[in-house]
Structure 1
Amino acid sequence: GGGCPALCTCRGQAVDCSGRRLFSAPPELPLDTGNLSLAHNRIASIPPGYLACFGQLRALDLRNNSLSALPAGLFLGARRLAHLDLSYNNLSLLPADVFLEASGLLRLDLSHNPGLRRVHPQAFRGLAQLRELDLSYGGLSAISLEALEGLPGLVGLRLGGNPWVCGCAMEPLLKWLRGRIQRCASDSQLAECRAPPEVAGAPLLSLTEESFQACHLTLTLDDYLFIAFVGFVVSIASVATNFLLGITANCCHRWSKASEDEDV
């Protein structure tokens, strides 16, 4: 730890390094830093263990930077961290247990990461206290129900602005959303399906169980027997057709040859 970093301003436990055109995080911070803003810079990466010495840190603002990944162990020692803003970055993947050490998180903002296309089912493991999660305006076409089911304290969820694919795999998530919508502030009405074409533009929660009926169609023994019978009939018809075509072709050939002989 150290004094107030160059280009930053410090007031009490708040360290403000926002909008300083920084390409890297300040190497030293006051040990009692409770609120750290690195927003509106050009930071592309944060060193592993960067927060390990700052046990008093409660809020970390990294919005509007160039982060493409979060290193393993970034939040080691940050058990008091309650507010984390990673919006407006270039994140593409949230791996398993990436926030595991930040078990005290209450609010997590991951919005406006247009390249964020995959969230591991265990990305949010350990965040039992998380109350607000913002995943809006990313590149998500799907998200595992497992990723959200492990957040018992969640009361705010934002999913709008993603290219959701509302196929059969989406049904469990939609059932969960409907069950939570009464006690979970959500922008699900703003979240729309991008595909398949028949539901493109439809709000997620406008899809009902009837929308997924085709996903549950099962064939009975009679159905299989009928399909087998139809296949058998079609194959017989195909053989018969080929046989008739062969006879016809042979007759035509003989007739043509006979005509040539008569001409001679």
Structure 2
Amino acid sequence: MPTLLALDASSSACSAALLHRRDGAEDRLISRFALTPREHTRRLLPMVDEVLAEAGITPGELDAVAYGRGPGSFTGLRIAAGVAQGLAYGLNRPLIGISTLEALALCAHRRHQCEHVMTAMDARMGEIYVAAWRCHRGRTEALAPEAVMSPDRLRLPEGDDQRGWVGVGSGWALWDGMSPAVQAGVGQCFSDLEPAAEEMVQLAAHAFAAGEGGAAHEVQPVYLRDQVAWQKSR
């Protein structure tokens, strides 16, 4: 098991998580999470210091760094990207960008055993960031690509409209603006869940094992603002 650090500041929450194994023991996950609107710059680095200190390791023992690459708050994404890129560059370690929407799906799966998840984050300006996922045994599979759109344009993936969908993320607070078909197909919502590094570090472990990750200067945040079409999965 590699030693991985993940950071996130893509929403009103700020978080850091460390996944590692020492001396043949079981995998250990250490995390910090706080709802800290407009305080990400002040809180993120201390969280990193805390999880490293609790694990008893130094930054040099990290195998890779991951961060919430978006979509999400423009300012928050830049903060997390800057910190993660600085760490990865200084340590000469690969940097892994993790989808905030995928992290939300995994969170719902881990906490509530959800299988078919529609993740939606409030994108402001009357829009939401959305994606659809199938979750099984701690893994996620994308059923529709990430997109940004107005709530009334959201549709369930073609052929999967009878799955008993669960809505996850702040975008579901805009429920009243969604179509009757979506409202009928989504049986439960968890609009209070926020993306978190705890799920991102686990997704990063799978990505690292698959050889993903790149040089610090090559990994960029994903904003989605120039992608306005919802493409149904084929």
What TM-score, normalized by structure 2, do the two folds share?
0.27
Higher RCO by CA contacts (8 Å cutoff, separation 6 or greater): 2
Give the structure with higher Rg (CA). 1
- Larger fraction in helix: 2
